[in-house]
Structure 1
Amino acid sequence: MVHKISTKSGTAARCISFGAALLFSSTAYAQNEDPQQGPPAAENVFAGDYVTIGAGVRVGPSYAGSDDYNISPLPVIIGSISGIDFQPRGPGFAVDLIPDKRNAKIDYILGPVAVARFDRKSSIKDDVVKSLGKLDIAVELGGNAGIQVNRVLHDYDSLTAQFDMRWDVAGAHNGMVMNPSLTYFTPINRAVVVSFSLNADYMDDDFADYYYSIDPAGSAASGLPVFAADGGWKSVGASVFAGIDLDGNAANGGFSLSLIGSYSKLLEDAKRSPVTSIRGSSNQFTGVIGLGYTF
């Protein structure tokens, strides 16, 4: 189901993932359509296999903890083939291997996740942070599990709790991240849907050290104080999404417009690090606008 979304807006990189995962979700209303009230299966593009492709524009921090903002493109592909759902995770993907049962009260989510993390690799506007040097690209592999409760307040809404756990296998931060989230999704009418999400990011010591510590050599190059970062809760955040089907009927596919706004607050050593506390901000904002086509 398209609206099985993991929302992680704790850093700039996670905000991209959140935006990509929610982008074009206005089609979700059709998937919970009651067969007695909704369109016949022949008119419902989601009755079988489907794919949504699209592109958007993201405005967000230039790195996790920055107070400088960049504009960047955001390609997206999302869909379901033979009952197996797939969705973007920023520069990466997540797969749900458990097929959903039509009109089920509860759906389960379980599958692999792969994400590439480009934080502080490029597009750093702050010359002081840039003097610390570019960081390597991390490739994080792991799993995603969750549960979705359908028909919470009415026939077409849902409440989804999800949890990601991933490890870097590319030799960048060599650490582990965890991302719990809770999302409420509801249609407003046949053309407009909204969702509201709460989320958090947890980092281990290796991750914290790689992205937030400053060693003596880095201190000499940048003028920032030496700082040793420890793992812990990296951020908490909230997001809102609105999707609009442009012909007024999500069930027939076609074009849709998505709008996303998210806020996250860096915590603990992610907040105390000089790259955040001196050169950036613990308050992180991201916005996404995108256009998708479903067939």
Structure 2
Amino acid sequence: MRLFSRVAAPLIATAAFSLSVPAWAQEISGPRDPATTPAGELNKNSVTIGLGGVYLPDYEGSNDYRFTAAPAGLAYIDGRTIALIGNRLSVDLIGDLRNPAWDFQAGPVAVVNMDRTAPSQIDDPRVRALGKIGAAVELGGYVGIAKVGVVTSPYDRLSIALSYRHDVTNVHDSAIWQPTINYFTPLSTKAAVGLFVTAERAGKGYARRYFSINPEQSIASTLPVYTARAGWKDWTAGAIGTYSITGNLVHGWKLVGSVNYSRMLNDFGDSPIVSQAGSRSQWLSALGIAYTF
């Protein structure tokens, strides 16, 4: 589930985009004349829940893939947003409704890193032999800014965010920085698409725990001894689409789909765990259903 958390960046990442369509639609309704707007339509609170199937690598850097289920949910309450995407939870604490053309975002973020916590689910025997890694709880925060009405229409949205997380469970005991750029646009009252680019920079402890190989592990796995250093770990680009099958984008059932490509970089991509047992190229796809009420 490590790769999945990478593409579920705080609120404005790919899956969060699809689920935050109701919040976006309510925010852009602000510039309309309240006298001609139905009561309760402006900045209406909403909740979206969803469940999807995700096809992702066995571990970060693997060339073997498996299916797993992932929950998703988003609550939009008085301009503030709480988003759960897979193993990532984020909360936007800035409920700024005064200027709907701009959205300033800041709040906490939490990720449960489950990478290689279940060796039995890893197909490659060499990586299985490296042993089990405990689940890491990464806590931190993020800041971001979004502009509505940028390129294609008065209703598209471009946003930039930066998040910081640190492991508080001493599994890798290091930090992860993640910048993200997203673009989102509606195609109709029933369909919308989004694009994003993100990257992660990981600390020394992360490189050592997940991508280094000590002499004992080398003997057990037959992979060579390797010491990975901190640095930029990967970049990811993806696209997401959502289509309403009942009602419209701000109410009812909708389908959500996403395809993402990641590339492992520097010492992380050069690690034998990736370069010999896996692949620098990583794919993730997801398809799910969600309901907004």
After TM superposition, give the deviation of residue 116 of structure 1 in Å.
0.4
Q: Distance in 2 between matches of 1:10 and 1:156?
A: 33
Trace 1:1-295 onto structure 2 (pairs within 5 A).
Answer: 11-15=3-7, 20-27=15-22, 30-31=25-26, 32-33=28-29, 35=32, 40-42=37-39, 44=41, 47-101=43-97, 104-122=100-118, 123-153=121-151, 154-247=153-246, 249-251=248-250, 253-295=251-293
Question: Contact between 1:60 and 1:286, CA under 8 Å: does it hold in 2?
Answer: yes
Q: Distance in 2 between matches of 1:12 and 1:52?
A: 20
Q: Distance in 2 between matches of 1:235 and 1:102?
A: 37
Normalized against structure 1, the TM-score is what?
0.90
Q: Distance in 2 between matches of 1:162 and 1:15?
A: 13
After TM superposition, give the deviation of residue 13 of structure 1 in Å.
4.4
After TM superposition, give the deviation of residue 262 of structure 1 in Å.
0.4
Q: Distance in 1 between matches of 2:217 and 2:224?
A: 9
Q: What secondary structure sits across from 1:125 in the alignment?
A: coil
Q: What secondary structure sits across from 1:11 in the alignment?
A: helix
Aligned letter for 1:149?
Answer: K
Q: Distance in 1 between matches of 2:249 and 2:39?
A: 14
Q: What secondary structure sits across from 2:255 in the alignment?
A: strand
CA RMSD for the aligned pairs? 2.2
Between the two proteins, the alignment pairs up a number of residues equal to: 284
Q: What secondary structure sits across from 1:101 in the alignment?
A: coil
Question: Which residue in the other structure is 1:6 paired with?
Answer: none
Following TM superposition, the consecutive aligned residue runs of length 4 or more in structure 1 with deviations greater than 3 angstroms are 9-13, 15-20, 22-29, 33-37, 39-44
1:111-155 CA-to-partner distances (Å, cap 9, x unmatched) read 001110000112212111000001010000001101111111221
1:265-292 CA-to-partner distances (Å, cap 9, x unmatched) read 0000110001100000000000011100
Q: Distance in 1 between matches of 2:126 and 2:258?
A: 31
Q: Distance in 2 between matches of 1:30 and 1:247?
A: 17
After TM superposition, give the deviation of residue 19 of structure 1 in Å.
5.8
Normalized against structure 2, the TM-score is what?
0.90
After TM superposition, give the deviation of residue 234 of structure 1 in Å.
0.3
Aligned letter for 2:253?
Answer: F
Q: Distance in 2 between matches of 1:258 and 1:232?
A: 33
Ranked by relative contact order (alpha carbons within 8 Å, sequence separation 6 or more), the top structure is 1
Q: Distance in 2 between matches of 1:155 and 1:67?
A: 42
Q: Distance in 2 between matches of 1:212 and 1:19?
A: 26
